[in-house]
């Protein structure tokens, strides 16, 4: 791990047992052998279709689901933890340092608690404050940081709009002073104008508090405008990872190219060139052999059906897992 790395995973896998009994159960590999480095203070995007394993990877890095294979570690410069074996008081401390912002601001907040109590709950559960005054002071400080009206702390969530509720969720995630936040589709349920407001807030928190974000999203336009670095997932594996600008200007993996071509373009020529992604993502319980994308890839050849490509780093920080990426780069789009 370099000095700059907050989270590192090596061959990280997460499997779930499906079905009961001795003979009719099998393992669903939601995340399979992922290597990832998330730099401190970065806004790291994770993209892919639904069912690609993004959410499970995020949960595994938060220790919310068990890691079945490989290793993962956390190092914020103050403490370092092996996430594979973390338990007891260290796990309790990690909960304070690593938090989640949920997707749905309507479902995430208890309708029976006031905004003050919702934000204060992690402080009380984790024993981070000793008196009610201390808790109230911290709640007010964080609410102000999230641009919530302090007059509204005694109200209940139903009195707020989607954007305000998401700011309450962010304040709750922020109150324990985390260094790492997983934002899982955190703006997906909001109107476009409100999305911009919440994204600006997250970027402000990254800049002012040095928080590292793992930003999980299916919305590539949002990722292009907010993230420093992006990883693309397909069927539990990372297929491409690069600094955002490199990835969006010169994608190397056919899956990434197909995802990007689905972004609406104002250029009519671009629209004509759009490479449609056909078919469904295969079931994680019945994965194809070789390259997992070969059943949908327009560039698949024989080797793709039998040999899985490794994630290759050609030395320019732009990693890709495809047997043909070099030769495809040389092909001029028609």
Interface with ligand SF4 (CB under 6 A), residue from 142, 175, 281, 291: 291
- In degrees, to the nearest 5, what angle opens at C-alpha 46 toward C-alphas 40 and 47? 160
SS3 call for 190: coil
What is the side-by-side strand order in the sheet with 43-47?
98-101, 180-184, 212-216, 43-47, 229-234, 237-243, 319-320
Q: What is the DSSP track for 27-73?
A: EEEEEEEEEEEEETT-EEEEE--TTSSHHHHHHHHTTSS---EEEEE
Nearer to ligand SF4, 65 or 322 (CB): 322
Cβ atoms 239, 34 nearer than 8 A: no
Nearer to ligand SF4, 230 or 320 (CB): 320
Q: Give the interface segment with ligand SF4, choosing from 73-81, 192-200, 203-211, 317-325 (CB under 6 A).
A: 317-325
- CB neighbourhood size of 176 (10 A): 18
324 binds ligand SF4, rule: CB under 6 A: yes
Q: Give the interface segment with ligand SF4, choosing from 16-24, 89-97, 108-116, 293-301 (CB under 6 A).
A: 293-301
251 binds ligand SF4, rule: CB under 6 A: no
- In degrees, to the nearest 5, what angle opens at C-alpha 134 toward C-alphas 133 and 136? 65
Nearer to ligand SF4, 35 or 256 (CB): 256
Distance from C-alpha of 71 to C-alpha of 81, rounded to nearest angstrom: 11
Cβ atoms 6, 38 nearer than 8 A: yes
Interface with ligand SF4 (CB under 6 A), residue from 63, 172, 252, 294: 294
Nearer to ligand SF4, 122 or 309 (CB): 309
What's the min distance (Å) between Cβ of 307 and ligand SF4? Answer: 8
What's the min distance (Å) between Cβ of 290 and ligand SF4? Answer: 7
Interface with ligand SF4 (CB under 6 A), residue from 293, 311, 318, 319: 293
322 binds ligand SF4, rule: CB under 6 A: yes
Q: Which of residues 160-219 bind ligand SF4 (CB under 6 A)?
A: none
Total site size for ligand SF4, rule CB under 6 A: 13
Distance from C-alpha of 292 to C-alpha of 243, rounded to nearest angstrom: 24
Interface with ligand SF4 (CB under 6 A), residue from 68, 135, 256, 299: 299
Q: What is the DSSP track for 219-250?
A: -HHHHHHH-SEEEEEETTEEEEEEEHHHHHHS
254 binds ligand SF4, rule: CB under 6 A: yes
Distance from C-alpha of 210 to C-alpha of 180, rounded to nearest angstrom: 9
What's the min distance (Å) between Cβ of 196 and ligand SF4? Answer: 34
Cβ atoms 53, 31 nearer than 8 A: yes
Q: Give the interface segment with ligand SF4, choosing from 11-19, 31-39, 84-92, 299-307 (CB under 6 A).
A: 299-307
Which stretches of the chain bind ligand SF4, using CB under 6 A?
253-254, 291, 293-294, 297, 299-300, 304, 309, 322-324
């Amino acid at each position: 791990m370099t000095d700059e790395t907050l989270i590192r995973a090596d061959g990280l896998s997460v499997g779930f047992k499906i079905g009961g009994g001795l003979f009719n159960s099998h393992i669903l590999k939601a995340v399979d052998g992922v290597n990832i480095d998330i730099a401190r203070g970065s806004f790291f995007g994770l993209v892919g279709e639904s069912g690609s394993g993004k959410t499970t990877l995020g949960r595994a890095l938060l220790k919310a689901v068990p890691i079945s294979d490989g290793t993962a570690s956390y190092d914020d410069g103050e403490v370092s933890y092996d996430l594979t074996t973390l338990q007891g008081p260290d796990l309790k401390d990690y909960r304070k340092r690593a938090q989640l912002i949920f997707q749905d601001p309507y479902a995430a907040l208890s309708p029976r608690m006031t905004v003050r109590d919702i934000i204060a709950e992690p402080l009380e559960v984790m024993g981070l404050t000793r008196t009610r005054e201390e808790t109230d002071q911290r709640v007010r400080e964080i609410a102000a940081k999230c641009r919530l009206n302090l007059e509204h702390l005694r109200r209940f969530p139903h009195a707020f709009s989607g954007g305000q509720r998401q700011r309450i969720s962010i304040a709750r995630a922020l109150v324990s002073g985390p260094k790492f936040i997983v934002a899982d589709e955190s703006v997906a349920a909001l109107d476009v104008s409100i999305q911009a407001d919440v994204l600006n807030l997250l970027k402000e928190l990254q800049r002012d508090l040095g928080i590292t974000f793992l930003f999980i999203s299916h919305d590539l336009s949002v990722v292009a405008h907010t993230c420093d670095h992006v990883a693309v997932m397909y069927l539990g594996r990372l297929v491409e990872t690069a600094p955002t600008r490199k990835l969006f200007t010169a994608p190397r993996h056919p899956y990434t190219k197909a995802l990007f071509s689905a972004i609406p373009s104002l250029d009519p020529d671009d629209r004509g060139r759009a490479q449609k992604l056909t078919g469904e993502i295969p079931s994680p319980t019945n994965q194809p052999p070789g390259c997992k994308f070969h059943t949908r890839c327009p560039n698949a050849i024989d080797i793709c059906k039998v040999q899985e490509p490794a994630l290759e780093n050609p030395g320019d920080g732009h990693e890709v897992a495809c047997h043909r990426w070099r030769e495809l780069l040389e092909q001029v789009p028609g």
